[in-house]
Structure 1
Amino acid sequence: MEQTYIKKILKTRVYEVAKKTPLDYATNLSRRFNNHIWIKREDLQPVFSFKLRGAYNKMANLSEDILAKGVIAASAGNHAQGVALSAAKLKIPATIVMPKTTPEIKVAAVQSWGAEVVLHGTTYDDASKYAQQLVEQQGLSYIHPYDDEDVIAGQGTIGMEILHEHSGKLDAIFVPVGGGGLIAGVATYIKYLRPEVKVIGVEPDDAGCLHAALKAQERVILDQVGIFADGVAVRQVGKLPFEIARTHVDEVLLVNTDEICAAIKDIFEETRTITEPAGALALAGLKQFIARENCNGCHLITIASGANMNFDRLGYVTERTEIGEKREALMAVTIPERLGSFRQFCHAVGQHFITEFNYRYADDEKAYLFVGVRLNDGLEKDRLIAKLRDKEYPVIDMTDNEMAKSHIRHMVGGHTQSLANERLYRFEFPERPGALLHFLTRMGQRWNISLFHYRNHGAAYGRILVGIQVPDEQLNELQNFLENLGYPYWGEANNPAYQLFLN
């Protein structure tokens, strides 16, 4: 089976439309981490993503009769653009089914290549199911984004180029993972010629479908996936990629949103290119690997898989970058409510640069501060917290508290004095007209909304924090409402950020 893939990779037709992208030596990153680091620049493809390779290779290997009927794909982004450009090159009709939540910039990009766009549903799964219906109805050929031999072979040309461009010592290659087509193709080629080179997958910690599958030794379906790195937000790894990964992938690392944001900044400072979150995923894993292994002088390659970034997401990325680089800590600190207590606290903090300071009067005895502090290194946070506690300040570390970072820091305003039965939930709403109305309509007039905070950071989903007043005897009714609503949600009533600043 391995030789079959190798032959397919060697015979691929991707260069009729794709570029041989450079393998750039990352001078600044190499110096900073005391290792030799290269970036494979798939962000320089005509559609700003590697997806073009697999899509074109699949379509170029179809018969003329099949091509004449047209092709169809379901995608919210990079695969859609790859299929659309490939269809334009082959002069065949293409239909792309995209969720209604797809940002307009991506819809316009697909249409610019001449493909017909059909907007259906609110998720990739909705779009995929509808695309399959059109396959049956219209006799179109479905171009799968990752679970296909020719697609995997097309992506495998990246591994082939890496070994052409880098013939010297090589310790590891870091590959972003969504459905698994890219890592399957790269790992097959690399392990065939250079089995000593580690192939390491990288996934978001809230969308680790390959990590979970390898741990379970079978494919699993994640209950839900995070959507920040939307290019790899896949609930189940592909069947073919999983079989390859079981024998050819050395390990899979999980990274968080803050680490991804920091990697976006790293690539920008190195190349002056802004990658999408999935495009910086592999670098985030590479940095984690260096820290874990304490390696020096290693030769490491990361794949920058794409740069289809919405401009309005940059504010959110910037906000989370400092935490991702461990250059900022967020803390909840309790101080006495008396004259001079602020000054005494600032003396306790010392020469640290305060990035954020939120406070509002709550009662006559205690004041709760939401504080951001600039750090010089990853160990400084623990030292500062220990120092404050030695001075008898109660401190809670909020640096890894998602609700605190996404909502509380923007809405610290003091406590309410007479609010009964408040239940707090965090939701992800699809960014489309009517989403909030749908929520309120389903709720009806049963309960009062006591708190509401919404942030749009340019993704397909918005993040909402909601307080609802629900008596104890109606909790079962509330649970039914939440389950039937269809939006991912998390109960946050016990979150210390809520208890300190809002409850």
Structure 2
Amino acid sequence: MGDDGLDLLRRVLTARVYEVARESELDPAPALSRRLGNRVLLKREDNQPVFSFKLRGAYNKMVHLDALARARGVIAASAGNHAQGVALAAARLGVRATIVMPQTAPQVKVDAVRAIGGTTVEVVLAGDSYSEAQAEAARLQAEHGYTLVHPFDDPDVIAGQGTVGMEILRQHAGPLHAIFVPVGGGGLLSGVAAFVKAVRPEVKVIGVQSTAANAMARSLAADERVQLDEVGLFADGTAVKQVGVLTFAICRQFVDDMICVDTDAICAAIKDVFADTRTVPEPSGALAIAGLKQYVAAHGLKDQTLVAVCSGANMNFDRLSFVAERAEVGERREALFAVTIPEERGSFRRFCEVLGGHSLTEFNYRIGDTREAHLFVGVRTGGREESEALARAFRAQGFGVLDLSDDELAKLHLRHMVGGRSPLAQDERLYRFDFPERPGALLRFLAQLHPDWNVSLFHYRNQGADHGQILVGLQVPPAERALFARFLATLGYPHRDESANPAYRLLLCEAPAGTRAEALRAI
């Protein structure tokens, strides 16, 4: 280790972080450990007072400022977590702070910065990314003479973040294969890597990034700093277009490897953390866990001790539905298929028989062809091998199968667009049914549908509630309405006739233009 490394080691050992931060727990993740066949430990930086590790570096930088720099006030650019650290430090030290945040920053983070900083902090929203917010902060700094508190490319900030690595080694003195660290600009990774390699060089330090914001991975691969044109904002805490000069130099020297993970893998990791801790990390906070899982799978690792830094928990509540939607696919616990079956009696029952004991998570269908029925199906599975076996079973029945589990268009949009008007849906009656959400309940419902009435529309999605809701279109000629009413009475499921619903009439019914105009007025 050169003089620069020794200087950083000294800075970490003397960092003043514990006036605001706490030594976070190194908690076991028993469920994840059992599933992966390794001992997984989570470094719980999501338990910090601002729910992120960022207050370590921000405070360590600001507490070392001289009186003149404090008097001028400070400025920072941040997607949210660094902003909260600066706000807390400003309030604690009585320093005036201007914090520039991108307009895309989660509202929970913006509100937290204002609440933490109080009257000492002014929040400015500018740009759509951290880089654009950083440019505005640079302009304000030049105009007002503020002192910059950089979120990652500063030795005092890096040293503050490096105390996370110091704590890990103090808390776990036994064999340790690797530490996985989330990466945006590289402050946390460079601090942890420099300290760990100085004290225990045999321990691997592995950075983890989102595939949509992988500036450090690409820079290390190119052996020079790479600037991205665009970054994905799902993992907003690490959405950085270009890493720092200092962080890049440190990571190039001390980091063993980089891993990039996609959005579905991040969502699955959020669910894994929740399963073991009953807490919900933000997407960037779950990056290291997603990378750890990918590393174990790629290297066939067994019986090793692995640490993942759970870096933050500033999750916007409105993202939870998306996370839940994608987590099962990310963990390969849900497979999505487009299945084509003959539009004839008996084929639907054969489809259900192929499913066997599998639970459906989604089922969308709209009649559109006299020869073939096209189904969008979600099935709960135990992994990729099981989904591949299910696809083979469908094909063995002569059904066409398209695996959509990795298809972004299908997962984001097309699953919600199965339907529309159909000239084949004559004499259609539309009903909503409720049924107890238990394994196999949907298939039992399907099996009870009367064979004399053709299913022209079907929509179901498991929402995690105790009761499932199904929307079904059945083609019932007017002369058979009384018989159909008796069938509904014996079916035993709560139901509601939606055939007169104005939105249904407008969007799904083949009706004269005047009728659609009436439906539009009714809405």
Question: What range is the shorter-chain TM-score in?
Answer: 0.7 to 0.9
Does structure 1 retain, via aligned residues, the 8 Å contact 2:130–2:239?
no
Query: In the alignment, which residue of structure 2 is the partner of 1:444?
Result: none
Query: In the alignment, which residue of structure 2 is the partner of 1:141?
Result: 147
Query: In the alignment, which residue of structure 2 is the partner of 1:200?
Result: 206
Query: In the alignment, which residue of structure 2 is the partner of 1:215?
Result: 221
Aligned equivalents of 1:309 and 1:363: distance in 2?
A: 44
Alpha-carbon distance, 1:257 to partner: 1.1
User: 2:90 matched to 1:61?
Assistant: no
One-letter amino acid of the structure 1 residue matched with residue 26 of structure 2: L
Alpha-carbon distance, 1:14 to partner: 1.1
Identical counterparts, % of pairs: 57
| SS class of match (1:267) | helix
| SS class of match (1:386) | helix
Query: In the alignment, which residue of structure 2 is the partner of 1:429?
Result: none
Cα-to-partner distance string for 1:51-75 (whole Å, 9 max, x where unaligned): 1011111111211111111001111
Aligned equivalents of 2:312 and 2:369: distance in 1?
A: 51
Deviates more, 1:22-31 or 1:51-60: 22-31
Cα-to-partner distance string for 1:311-334 (whole Å, 9 max, x where unaligned): 121111111111112110001111
Cα-to-partner distance string for 1:46-101 (whole Å, 9 max, x where unaligned): 11000101111111121111111100111121011010101111111001112233
| SS class of match (2:366) | coil
One-letter amino acid of the structure 2 residue matched with residue 361 of structure 1: I
Correspondence list, 1:442-457, <5 A: none
| Counterpart pick for 2:342 among 321, 336, 342 | 336
| Counterpart pick for 2:396 among 355, 380, 390 | 390
| SS class of match (1:136) | helix
Query: In the alignment, which residue of structure 2 is the partner of 1:293?
Result: 299
One-letter amino acid of the structure 1 residue matched with residue 36 of structure 2: F
Does structure 2 retain, via aligned residues, the 8 Å contact 1:74–1:131?
yes
Query: In the alignment, which residue of structure 2 is the partner of 1:349?
Result: 355
| Counterpart pick for 2:246 among 240, 245, 248 | 240
One-letter amino acid of the structure 2 residue matched with residue 212 of structure 1: R
User: 2:42 matched to 1:36?
Assistant: no
Cα-to-partner distance string for 1:291-321 (whole Å, 9 max, x where unaligned): 1222211011010000001112111111111
Aligned residue pairs: how many? 417
Aligned equivalents of 1:299 and 1:380: distance in 2?
A: 29
Correspondence list, 1:62-461, <5 A: 62-112=65-115, 113-114=117-118, 115-414=121-420
Alpha-carbon distance, 1:416 to partner: 8.6
| SS class of match (1:192) | helix
Does structure 1 retain, via aligned residues, the 8 Å contact 2:260–2:291?
yes
Does structure 1 retain, via aligned residues, the 8 Å contact 2:43–2:309?
yes
Deviates more, 1:210-219 or 1:85-94: 210-219
| SS class of match (2:335) | strand
Cα-to-partner distance string for 1:451-483 (whole Å, 9 max, x where unaligned): xxxxxxxxxxxxxxxxxxxxxxxxxxxxxxxxx
Cα-to-partner distance string for 1:394-415 (whole Å, 9 max, x where unaligned): 2111101111111111221158
Does structure 1 retain, via aligned residues, the 8 Å contact 2:114–2:123?
yes
User: 2:14 matched to 1:8?
Assistant: no
| SS class of match (2:418) | coil
Aligned equivalents of 1:74 and 1:182: distance in 2?
A: 17
Aligned equivalents of 2:313 and 2:256: distance in 1?
A: 27
Alpha-carbon distance, 1:258 to partner: 1.3
Aligned equivalents of 1:330 and 1:28: distance in 2?
A: 25
Aligned equivalents of 1:99 and 1:289: distance in 2?
A: 32
Aligned equivalents of 2:105 and 2:147: distance in 1?
A: 23
Query: In the alignment, which residue of structure 2 is the partner of 1:481?
Result: none
Alpha-carbon distance, 1:33 to partner: 2.1
| SS class of match (2:265) | helix
Aligned equivalents of 1:32 and 1:381: distance in 2?
A: 19
| SS class of match (2:152) | coil
Alpha-carbon distance, 1:179 to partner: 0.7
Query: In the alignment, which residue of structure 2 is the partner of 1:497?
Result: none
Residues 1:348 and 1:271: Cα distance change in structure 2 (over 3 Å): closer
Deviates more, 1:179-188 or 1:354-363: 354-363
What is the RMSD of the two structures over their aligned residues, measured on CA atoms? 1.5
One-letter amino acid of the structure 2 residue matched with residue 28 of structure 1: A
Does structure 2 retain, via aligned residues, the 8 Å contact 1:354–1:372?
yes
| SS class of match (1:358) | strand
TM-score between the two structures when normalised by the length of structure 2: 0.77
One-letter amino acid of the structure 2 residue matched with residue 33 of structure 1: L
Correspondence list, 1:43-54, <5 A: 43-54=46-57
Aligned equivalents of 1:400 and 1:104: distance in 2?
A: 30
One-letter amino acid of the structure 1 residue matched with residue 48 of structure 2: Q
Aligned equivalents of 2:183 and 2:133: distance in 1?
A: 21
Query: In the alignment, which residue of structure 2 is the partner of 1:17?
Result: 20
Correspondence list, 1:478-493, <5 A: none
Alpha-carbon distance, 1:391 to partner: 2.6
Alpha-carbon distance, 1:133 to partner: 1.0
One-letter amino acid of the structure 2 residue matched with residue 21 of structure 1: S
Aligned equivalents of 2:278 and 2:391: distance in 1?
A: 36
Aligned equivalents of 1:48 and 1:286: distance in 2?
A: 21
| SS class of match (2:213) | coil
Does structure 2 retain, via aligned residues, the 8 Å contact 1:361–1:414?
no
| SS class of match (2:307) | strand
Aligned equivalents of 1:393 and 1:235: distance in 2?
A: 46
